[in-house]
Amino acid sequence: MNFELSEEYQDLVDTVRDFADQVVAPVSAKHDEEHSFPYEVIAQMGEMGLFGLPFPEQYGGMDGDYFALCLALEQIARVDQSVAITLEAGVSLGAMPIFRFGTQEQKQHWLPQLTSGEALAGFGLTESEAGSDASGTKTNAKLVDGEWIINGTKEFITNSGTDITRLVTVTAVTDTTTRENGSVKKEISTILVPTDTPGFTAEKAYNKVGWNASDTHPLTLKDVRVPETNLLGTRGRGYANFLQILDEGRIAIAALATGAAQGCVDESIRYAKERQAFGTNIGAYQSIQFKIARMQARAHTARLAYYDAASRMLAGKPFKTQASIAKLVAGEAAMDNARDATQVFGGYGFMNEFTVSRHYRDSKILEVGEGTTEVQLMLIARELGL
């Protein structure tokens, strides 16, 4: 087992790290305060090819792999989780379902726009009563004269309302059957809905605790009509396919969370060397040293966890449990490190312009989004036969 990065991977890490420090970080506080989407940063990321990292060149991609995407996410999340989640969702939730399950025509039409970063796509799964529990899905789609007519609402959809959002893939009930016991089984499919389709509305953006520069909206679909050919993948396999996408996405989220955890370490080290108290820098005190040492141990463990899950995925081995472990460990590491970093910074850690304060607000969603901590524990326990 060799955990050292190859020269190609290391070059990517160095490049993205420099970009994060020199381009992303200087405007992070501004966009966070204004709750504004960082279009100029996203455009530069598109030019760098970051949105195309795991996709083949024939679709405008960089012919890389999912681990390359994870490495990029870690570096960006050190300084700005909002920008990192925009990339993660744009790739793993926006473009990846089309790449995994789309027809050749769908791929050729949508992927070049998405891999270039010129356009974004979202995935409309969550509803007020449906997320982890697919049976709660109420959005429905009926096939009438060669068109899907879609009605319903979605909640918490990332990248769904920007000026460059062009597509949302929607899960919808396309049929129902009644079992012998009287319960209803829902057939859930996924359908591609261009955002300029009449009846599709991205409602007012949420006022969130964190990820303030990330775009998140509730969606309303009222008699939305799209061609039958906009069905993504096999009819009735929509939710099952998305579970596969979520398994992969948890590795990416773990990488993002690892970056957040490491960012808290880096900021705390810098501050501990500068801040003077009682005649010396606070980093000379063992209580601060031990706190930061524990933070580094969490970040290191989280990194090993997502490296392991990613290596299994790329080798074609089962990785579902390892992805859940990585997501669990990294999400908790980010939240714990954000809390400790805020303590190291003292009063300054409570000021929004400081990176650690944004990590403190941003990191909580890492224990909720794309599968809660409780869901990860459930999946791990299930794999243990419990």
pLDDT at residue number 107 = 98
Q: In angstroms, rounded to a whole number, what is the distance separating the alpha carbons of residues 341 and 127?
A: 34
- What per-residue confidence (pLDDT) applies to 312? 96
- Report the candidate in 220, 191, 295, 298 with the shortest Cα–Cα distance to residue 254: 298
pLDDT in the model for residue 344: 97
CATH 1.10.540.10 holds for 7-120? yes
How many angstroms separate the Cα of 288 from the Cα of each of 248, 268, 278, 282, 344? Answer: 36, 9, 14, 7, 7
CATH number of 240-383: 1.20.140.10
pLDDT at 177: 87
Rg (CA), the chain: 21
CA distance 386 to 306: 24
Q: Among residues 92, 97, 133, which one has the least CA distance to residue 231?
A: 97
Q: Which position has the token pair 């300084």?
A: 79
- Beta bridge partners, 149, equal 142, 225
Three-class SS state of 319:
coil
pLDDT at 126: 93
**Would you state the pLDDT for residue 140?**
97
In order along its 386 residues, the chain shows pLDDT tens digits of 778 999 999 999 999 999 999 999 999 999 999 999 999 999 999 999 999 999 999 999 999 999 999 999 999 999 999 999 999 999 999 999 999 999 999 999 999 999 999 999 999 999 998 877 777 899 999 999 999 999 999 999 999 999 999 999 999 999 998 887 877 889 999 999 999 999 999 999 999 999 999 999 999 999 999 999 999 999 999 988 988 899 999 999 999 999 999 999 999 999 999 999 999 999 999 999 999 999 999 999 999 999 999 999 999 999 999 999 999 999 999 999 999 999 999 999 999 989 999 999 999 999 998 889 999 999 999 999 99
Residues assigned a catalytic role: 370
CA angle 270/328/158 to nearest 5° reads: 85
Residue 49 in 3-state DSSP? coil
What SS3 state is found at 78? Answer: coil
Q: What pLDDT shows up at residue 136?
A: 87
Output the six-digit token pair for 384: 């243990």
Residue from 176, 166, 174 nearest 200 by CA:
166
- Can you say how many angstroms the Cα of residue 52 is from the centroid of all Cα atoms in its chain? 15
What CATH number was assigned to the domain covering residues 121-236?
2.40.110.10
pLDDT of residue 3: 84
Hey, where are the domains in the chain?
7-120, 121-236, 240-383
pLDDT on residue 203: 98
Asked if residue 256 lies in contact with residue 81, where contact means CB atoms within 8 angstroms, the answer is yes
What DSSP letter does each residue of 135-204 carry, written as one string?
GG---EEEEETTEEEEEEEEEEEETSSSTTEEEEEEEEEEEEEE-TTS-EEEEEEEEEEETTSTTEEE-P
